């Protein structure tokens, strides 16, 4: 039950703004000290709960998972400090998790939409091009303001990555989502896919491993962020090894995308493209790894404060959720050290509070 918690350390209200005198009263943050004595006093550096901007709660290798498994996934994310999840497609209906106060907040995207027989079996709603627009309308109405497209995948006839849908159809689908009041994001590994998505007016790009210099100014001008999912991209060499025998061109392509992954992320960041942290937890990546993704972005060249911001203040603002501010829900994490000076402190949080309740 939420009571009164006093934070005796420093609250980071932005990457470059510090305040003291923060409290949690009945589940909400305030900088006004209550008259009552606190039930608990916590020391350390207080940050907004982390955002995993590409996560698949309710998804397993074969598609939907039992509710008990979805709950375990959500708890793993929560205990690692992820208190806000932008779902990037799930075969499970996770609206029931949104009703549980002990679970992270989830912004749902409905189910992935993929080309028939061109994606992992059981994960997506699979359609041919003439069914894409209607599928997008359906998922836009089913989700919480986001739709997820699978923009490219291996084309076994071509032996390499290729766009899943014609560019003209993608444009119509993105417009349909916008008409429904939803934003659209897309799984994009290959170079060509990014051109089609930017032409269509996409709102976000997942992975973006095919990023080329020609794409960067367009991302900046159109205000399109990327979610690199670097801990997932680390699996590319293994994927290439498995594909080598039957699809050597695809294997070479995947390795080349992996080799330039950090360089591309840093180029985008330095040009002003917004970068958000996402783990891609679900079918392959284990849940609860947001700290690993933050560290991977730092290792790619982002300064510590900016790597932290990718899962913190800016990410919350992008999704329309408050951070450490007066009256906001007390969804915060506490680090023993200033994470801007020692980013590794995000790996071992002192405390996690969700809706004002200590959960870890």
**Rounded (10°) angle between helices 167-179 and 132-142:** 30
Q: Are 184 and 147 in contact (CB under 8 A)?
A: yes
Is the same domain home to 157 and 185? Answer: yes
3-state secondary structure of 299: helix
**Which residues sit opposite 351 in a β-bridge?**
334
Number of structural domains in the chain = 2
Tell me the C-alpha distance between 75 and 80, whole Å.
Answer: 8
pLDDT category, 1, cuts 50, 70, 90? low
Q: What is the pLDDT of residues 147-205, one digit of tens each?
A: 999 999 999 999 999 999 999 999 999 999 999 999 999 999 999 999 999 999 999 99
Which residues have a Cβ under 8 Å from the Cβ of 302 and sit 6 or more positions away? 265, 266, 269, 275, 310
Is the same domain home to 313 and 332? Answer: no
Inform me whether the pLDDT recorded for 272 exceeds 80.
yes
Is the same domain home to 257 and 342? Answer: no
Q: What are phi and psi of 137, to 5 degrees?
A: -60, -45
User: What's residue 283's pLDDT?
Assistant: 82
Q: How many CA atoms lie within 13 A of 208 on its CB side?
A: 35
% of residues, the chain, pLDDT over 90? 98
Tell me the C-alpha distance between 15 and 187, whole Å.
Answer: 29
Is the same domain home to 261 and 340? Answer: no
In the predicted model, what is the mean pLDDT of residues 135-146? 97
Is the same domain home to 136 and 268? Answer: yes
Is the same domain home to 330 and 307? Answer: no
Is the same domain home to 303 and 277? Answer: yes
Q: What are phi and psi of 167, to 5 degrees?
A: -60, -40
Inform me whether the pLDDT recorded for 95 exceeds 80.
yes
Q: Are 346 and 308 in contact (CB under 8 A)?
A: yes
Is the same domain home to 329 and 312? Answer: no
Q: Are 254 and 153 in contact (CB under 8 A)?
A: no
Domain of 29, in residue numbers = 4-46+323-358
């Amino acid at each position: 039950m939420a009571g009164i918690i006093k934070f005796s350390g420093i609250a980071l209200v932005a990457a470059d703004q510090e305040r003291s005198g923060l409290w949690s009263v009945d589940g909400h943050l305030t900088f006004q000290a209550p008259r009552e004595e606190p039930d608990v006093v916590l020391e350390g550096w207080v940050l907004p709960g982390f955002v995993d901007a590409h996560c698949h709660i309710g998804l397993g290798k074969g598609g939907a998972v039992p509710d008990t498994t979805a709950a375990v996934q959500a708890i793993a994310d929560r205990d690692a400090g992820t208190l806000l999840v932008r779902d990037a497609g799930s075969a499970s209906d996770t609206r029931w998790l949104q009703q549980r106060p002990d679970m992270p907040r989830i912004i749902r995207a409905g189910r992935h939409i993929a080309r028939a027989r061109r994606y992992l079996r059981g994960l997506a709603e699979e359609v041919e091009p003439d069914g894409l627009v209607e599928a997008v309308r359906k998922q836009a109405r089913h989700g919480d303001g986001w739709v997820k497209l699978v923009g490219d995948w291996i084309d076994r006839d071509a032996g390499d990555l290729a766009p899943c849908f014609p560019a003209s159809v993608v444009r119509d689908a993105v417009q349909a989502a916008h008409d429904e009041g939803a934003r659209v994001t897309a799984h994009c590994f290959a170079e060509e896919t990014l051109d089609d998505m930017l032409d269509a007016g996409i709102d976000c790009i997942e992975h973006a491993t095919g990023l080329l210099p020609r794409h960067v100014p367009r991302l900046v001008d159109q205000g399109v962020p990327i979610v690199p999912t670097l801990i997932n991209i680390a699996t590319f060499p293994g994927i290439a090894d498995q594909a080598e025998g039957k699809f050597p061109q695809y294997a070479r392509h995947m390795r080349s995308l992996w080799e330039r992954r950090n360089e591309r992320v840093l180029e985008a960041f330095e040009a002003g493209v917004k970068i958000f942290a996402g783990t891609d937890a679900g079918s392959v990546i284990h849940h609860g790894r947001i700290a690993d993704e933050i560290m991977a972005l730092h290792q790619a060249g982002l300064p510590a404060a900016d790597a932290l911001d990718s899962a913190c203040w800016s990410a919350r603002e992008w999704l329309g959720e408050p951070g450490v501010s007066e009256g906001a829900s007390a969804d915060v994490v506490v680090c023993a050290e200033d994470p801007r000076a020692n980013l590794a402190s995000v790996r071992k949080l002192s405390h996690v509070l969700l809706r004002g309740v200590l959960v870890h």
